Amino acid sequence: MGICCQAQAQLPMPWMKKKKKKNEALRSSEHPVVQSIRAIPIRVLTVGKKRSKGIQLVVDEYKEKINYYCSMEDVLIRSNPKNTSNVKAQIEAEDISVIKQLRPDDWVLVLDEHGADITSEQLASLIEDAAITGSSRLSFCIGGPYGHGSQVRSRANLTIRLSSMVLNHQIALIVLLEQIYRAWTILKGQKYHH
Amino acid sequence: MGICCQAQAQLPMPWMKKKKKKNEALRSSEHPVVQSIRAIPIRVLTVGKKRSKGIQLVVDEYKEKINYYCSMEDVLIRSNPKNTSNVKAQIEAEDISVIKQLRPDDWVLVLDEHGADITSEQLASLIEDAAITGSSRLSFCIGGPYGHGSQVRSRANLTIRLSSMVLNHQIALIVLLEQIYRAWTILKGQKYHH
């Protein structure tokens, strides 16, 4: 189905400014065939509880598809590790758990309600840009039920959102994985397999 | 996770004008407890191929959750019923198949790339509004790989989109079902169960 592709980013996207000339073509609707993009390893960190069987099967399905293009690691970080009833303490504990998973040379993309709306083409450009920077990994961070803490927010190289609606972390993960797979088909100039 | 809830609709939403006074409260961040909403039957029509096992499990999971609030029917319409290689003919054939599934008194909500961005709260108001109109059913239409035909577009009472990114029909279905479930928890003033 075709749910959108004309939205404009609502927040500044610093990576666009850096390589404006290079990326102009990538953001046009006629995406050129690009064969030589470094297969930067991708890591998706999700804060949440154990997944349902169906969600895990869909995650595995997209992981296999993405692994055709690059290594993709799916990391589930336990929600509320200190088992507290205090929301602030929960957010802080989850924040620390996520930060521990990040390396200094990771390129970090955070999913957050205050993030920018981007198109599938822009996500493709973003993956390419992360590969060009020389970062060792591209890490996506999906927060828990109360969102991210201040450390993760500060660490973000870019913050985006997947929808104008609130998505739970399991659904957000599936949408993100499908978008990563779609991004690679765009970058490689290949047909998208439904 | 909290991916958004502050986006404003980018296209006019006629249903908002009709009952502005009534719906003002519903669209505030402090959604009141509404107990007496008619459980309008919901039907989700998806044009596509056979689903993967994981997708079907997730669909069944949300169907069960939604059935707690209203009857929810999941209708898979065969993509490209005439098995043509002509894209225009495929769209037209799918268009006819979808239209055949709609009754004159259905309240029809079409998902389309040119639709409005809405928040989860707005979807909740929309379900309530459809129930108030006296329509016998609320039908959501998710198009095939090339989107909807002209008849379905014309039949829509409202057209929305789920994301600024292009989603395939399986992922769109899952996002929509999660949003319908979330909408009911909002309308009933209940805690969302992750």
Judged by a CB distance cut-off of 8 A, whether residue A112 touches chain B is yes
Break chain B into its structural domains and give their ranges.
Answer: 38-187
Encode B61-72: b = buried (16+ Cβ within 10 Å), e = exposed. bbbebbeebbeb
Judged by a CB distance cut-off of 8 A, whether residue A193 touches chain B is no
pLDDT > 60? residue A135: yes
For residue range B44-77, list pLDDT tens digits in order.
Answer: 999 999 999 999 999 999 999 999 999 999 999 9
For residue range A37-84, list pLDDT tens digits in order.
Answer: 889 999 999 999 999 999 999 999 999 999 999 999 999 999 999 999
- In this structure, whether the domain defined by A37-187 belongs to CATH 3.40.1280.10 is answered with yes
Judged by a CB distance cut-off of 8 A, whether residue A1 touches chain B is yes
- Which chain B residues are closer than 8 Å to A142 by Cβ? 1
- Which chain B residues are closer than 8 Å to A143 by Cβ? 1-2
A6 — pLDDT class (breaks 50, 70, 90): very low
* pLDDT at residue B32 in the model: 52
Q: Tokens 């060792």 sit at which residue?
A: A136
What ipTM does this complex have?
Answer: 0.81
Distances (CA, A) of B37 to A30, A168, B189: 47, 24, 12
Average pLDDT over residues B153-173: 94
A55's tokens: 């969600």
For residue range A99-113, list pLDDT tens digits in order.
Answer: 999 999 999 999 998
Partner B, chain A 46-85, Cβ-Cβ below 8 Å = 47-49, 52-61
Q: Which CATH architecture has domain B38-187?
A: 3-Layer(aba) Sandwich (3.40)
* pLDDT at residue B23 in the model: 40
* pLDDT at residue B137 in the model: 95
Q: How far apart are CA A112 and CA A147, in angstroms?
A: 7
* pLDDT at residue B35 in the model: 55
CB contact under 8 A, A161 and B3: yes
Under 8 Å between Cβ of B66 and B180: yes
